[in-house]
Structure formats: C-alpha cells, structure tokens
Chain A
Amino acid sequence: MANVPKELRYTREHEWAKQDGDRVRIGITAYAQEQLGDVVFVELPKVGAKVTAAKNFGVVESVKAVSDLFSPLSGEVVEINGELAQKPETVNQDPYGKGWMLVVKPSNKGEWDQLLTAQQYEELIAQGGH
C-alpha cells in the first residue's frame, strides 16, 4: 500500500494538498507517481496564474504517458517548484516533500472540506484508484 500521510487532503485524481498557514502546497501522491512510472517532464503554471478546483493546472509526463494535473483548490499560484524542470524524477523520489509542485493562495476556503481525507483516499486507491 502506498504511503498516504494523515495530515494531507486528496483529490480523486491523486493530487495532495497541505495547509501551510493561509497557503496550500500541492503535489501528486506516492500512489500516482508509482502508477506513472519514471517522471521525465513536469509542466506547471506561472506564479500569479489562477487555478480552479478540479480543473487542469499542468501536466506530468512519464516515459510512456501524458497525465493532466488537477488543482485541489481554487486560488492564485504564489510559488512553483522550479527544480522539477531540471529534476523531474524528484516527483518519484519524494512526492510529498521535494517533489511538491505548487503553492496556492486559496480564494475559497470552503473547498478544503470538499477534499478527500487520508482515509477516504486510502479507500479510493484500495479500490484500484478510480
């Protein structure tokens, strides 16, 4: 079973969100990176861009496949992980740590409660991830 940290919230598309003061850090889960295989490219929005809950914010590509990234929350991008351009494999090595993707300043605090809890996400992946 893939690692699912208790303190994070999750999307059905396998992104995680972590509260960090009034901001939220976003990445993809250990399960997601395992399913993708070797990540070779990550495309992220620019700082200042607006992202919308459940909408595409970027792309992660493995050797074999292109996958859309979906934002857990709506808000403004205040930071991106620029290291991933040079070292996309960090997403595989440390998906909840150095492999983070965005920091967003949420515009709708209510959206947080719509996200899956760790327990709900564990149930999702136990059923095959769909």
Chain B
Amino acid sequence: MSATPFKRTPLYAEHVAAGARMVPFGGWEMPVQYTGIIEEHRTTRSAAGLFDVSHMGEFEVDGPGALAALQHLTTNDVAALQVGQIQYSVLCYDSGTIVDDLTVYRLGEDRYMITVNAGNIDKDWAHVTTSTAHVKDARWRNASEGTGLIAVQGPKAEAIVGRLADRDVTAIGYYRFERGNVGDVPALISRTGYTGEDGFELYAPADGTAQLWKALLAAGRAEGAVPVGLGARDTLRLEMKYALYGNDIDETTNALEAGLGWVVKPAKGDFIGRAALEKVRAEGMRRRLVGIEMVDKAVARHGYPVKHDGREAGIVTSGSYGPSVDKYIGIAYVETALAPVGTALEVEIRGQGKAARVARTPFQPSRVKKAG
C-alpha cells in the first residue's frame, strides 16, 4: 500500500486508543465502529451516543453582502433566519441537481457559517467562492481545518451536555444554537443532529476537541453513553430517511425529487437552480425518493434495480438492516406513480426479484426536540 494521504480528525488518537476500527471515508480516516454497529445504534436510541464528525466542513461568510451571497447559493430563504437560528438547505447547480446539502447558521448580523459534507469540502469551497465572486462585501473563510465537531445524540444527550455546559442548554430549541463553554472548552452548542433523537452538535476549536470528547465520555458514562462510529450513524439516519450525499442525493438528482422541496423557496428571489426547479415543479416529478421495506428476507443495497410488474422502475440509493425497527429497509427512487405507501415493488438482488413495498417514513418515530 502506498502512503495514502487520509486526513485525520483531532480525535484520531482517541479512536485508536479506544480500539475503534478505522476506515477511509470521504478522504478521511474515520471510526466505523467501536464495539459493534447494532449495539452502538441501539445505545444511541436508548441512552446516548457520542460521534466524532469533525471531518465535516465549516465555511464562514461575513460582510454586508453575506446574506446576498447565501441567498444566491442556497435554496432555502436565509432572510428568514434570525441570529441564533439554523436552517437546513441545499446547494444546487443551474440544473437543480445537488452540489451538497448543508446547514446554515446565522452567527451575527452579517455573519453566517455553513456546515458541509466532508467529502465535498473542496468542491463546495470552489463552488461557493466562484459562484459568489460577483457579490460585493462578502468574505469567505474556510474554517474546516481549525474546527472540531462532536455530536451528542439520544435521550440522555441533554443531561450530559447540560452537566458540562456553563449555561442552561434545555432552553436551546431545535435548530437553534448558543455559544458557551462545555467542559471548559469554548463551543457553539447547536441543537441539531442526524439520528432522529434529541441532541446537540458541539463545534469546538480543533485543539480543544479532544478535551471536550474526554469530558463528554466521562460525563456520559453514568448515563450509559458510548462512542459511536460512522456505521451506526448511517443506520440511524437511514431509519429517519435522512438523505446522505453520495448515496441518495448527488449531482444527478434534483432537490425536488429527493423530497427536499420543503427547503426550496423560489418566492425568496433568484438562486442557482431556481429556474430548473420551477420547471420541475410545473411539469411534475418523474420520480420520487421513497422509503422501502423488504417483504422477502433480503437486504436492499445502494445501486440495486427496483422493478414493478417486471420492468425497471427505479433504483435503491441506501439500504441495510434497521436495528431499531428490526426490518430490512431502504431508500429508493421510484417512478412517481409508484410512490404511494404500500405500492408493491421488487428489488433485484443478485439476479433475483425480491418483494418489497413502499413504506411510511420515517421508519422510526422522530424524537427531536420540538422547534422552540
């Protein structure tokens, strides 16, 4: 093997010391599991899981033109965002297909942060800076290298973060954030996540991230919290039908067919991809991203064909065993006519059609804190 230039998060040494299995992911060397994916998944739903997601990218934009830059780049209406609020959104190409999905934080009057997927950092940086080069008074800064990110997710997350924080974190509503110290580390405390459980994502300086991780592990021990790898992060998000870039959404899928129409706001004015998405809305969607569950015993996987009445009618984009729902579940694009819940489908697995059906989603009820 040649020396591959995988990047490492500030917690790499912690993961190795804890016996995690490290794997390449989006150019990073990340823990896929510590003890076992299913156990880590279930512990997140029953107690709490700590996730190193420091590989994700953070860009800041500030100046009087910052709002205009973000309005031009993203599909959601950034003008609706107050300081302290967060918004899920999408970066599109002119074609309405997806550069990345992201969260937008309004840090100050003219200051924002966006959080992007790890594997897309370079592509996104080029996209946001070149696409907004014409916008006056907007300065971009790539803060990815200097920023660590730990997600604390699960019913005990509030108690764990609350014990270490210098403020009342129970007052932070869903998709809201505050700045404060957690375990004596300065952090941006964000009530967000990717599991369907209540919880927080804590942004910290890279050089304080290990201290924060250790403090969270120590405070979480009594609550049954464990470190959780990317394997369970994937099954947790799958049970919620949260899209994963590179699996369910990418540069070939448009934001509407992906079910992200709720963050596409053409009324706000022009943005990249608006005309194409308006056309899709007017003409109707050819296909939809739906949840599926297997009727036959078999596991659907990314890339498997979906059939209906013997003809090809879609494609699986994610699939695995859902440890909390105890079923083989997946996400798939299917022709719009086949999208209603209950529609009988077949997934072609190793040359054989296996019975499946369109399922109600999320597969697992959401327990995120209500917006407040």
CB-CB < 8 A to A40: which residues of B? 38, 299, 320-321, 328
Interface size grouping (class) on chain A: 10 to 19
B28 to chain A, nearest CB (A): 16
Partner of B36, one of A37, A59, A66: A37
Interface residues of A in 34-79 (CB under 8 A from B): 37-38, 40-41, 43, 59, 61-64, 66
- The residue on B at minimum CB distance from A63 is B37
Q: How far is the CA of A40 from the CA of B329 in the complex (A)?
A: 12
Number of interface residues of B (CB under 8 A): 19
Interface residues of B in 25-58 (CB under 8 A from A): 32-33, 36-39
Do the beta carbons of A85 and B37 come within 8 Å of each other?
no
A115 to chain B, nearest CB (A): 26
Query: Contacts A59-B350, A64-B32 hold; do A38 and B299 have CB atoms under 8 A apart?
Result: no
B265 to chain A, nearest CB (A): 36
CB-CB < 8 A to A89: which residues of B? 38
Do the beta carbons of B350 and A63 come within 8 Å of each other?
no
Do the beta carbons of B36 and A38 come within 8 Å of each other?
yes
- Does B235 lie at the interface of the complex (its beta carbon under 8 Å from any beta carbon of A)? yes
- The residue on B at minimum CB distance from A85 is B297
Do the beta carbons of A41 and B36 come within 8 Å of each other?
no
Q: How far is the CA of A62 from the CA of B299 in the complex (A)?
A: 10
Do the beta carbons of B350 and A38 come within 8 Å of each other?
no
Chain B 297-326 per-residue mask, 1 if CB under 8 angstroms from chain A, else 0: 111010000000000000000001101000
Query: Contacts A38-B37, A40-B321, A59-B350 hold; do A66 and B235 have CB atoms under 8 A apart?
Result: no
- Does B266 lie at the interface of the complex (its beta carbon under 8 Å from any beta carbon of A)? no
Q: How far is the CA of A66 from the CA of B301 in the complex (A)?
A: 9
- Does B231 lie at the interface of the complex (its beta carbon under 8 Å from any beta carbon of A)? yes
A66 to chain B, nearest CB (A): 6
Query: Which of B33, B321, B328 has the most chain A CB atoms closer than 10 A to its own CB?
Result: B321
Query: Which of B21, B38, B298 has the most chain A CB atoms closer than 10 A to its own CB?
Result: B38
Q: How far is the CA of A104 from the CA of B36 in the complex (A)?
A: 32
- The residue on A at minimum CB distance from B320 is A63
A69 to chain B, nearest CB (A): 12
Do the beta carbons of A61 and B37 come within 8 Å of each other?
no
- Name 9 interchain pairs, CB-CB below 8 A, sorted by A: A37-B33, A38-B36, A40-B328, A41-B321, A62-B37, A63-B321, A63-B323, A64-B37, A66-B301
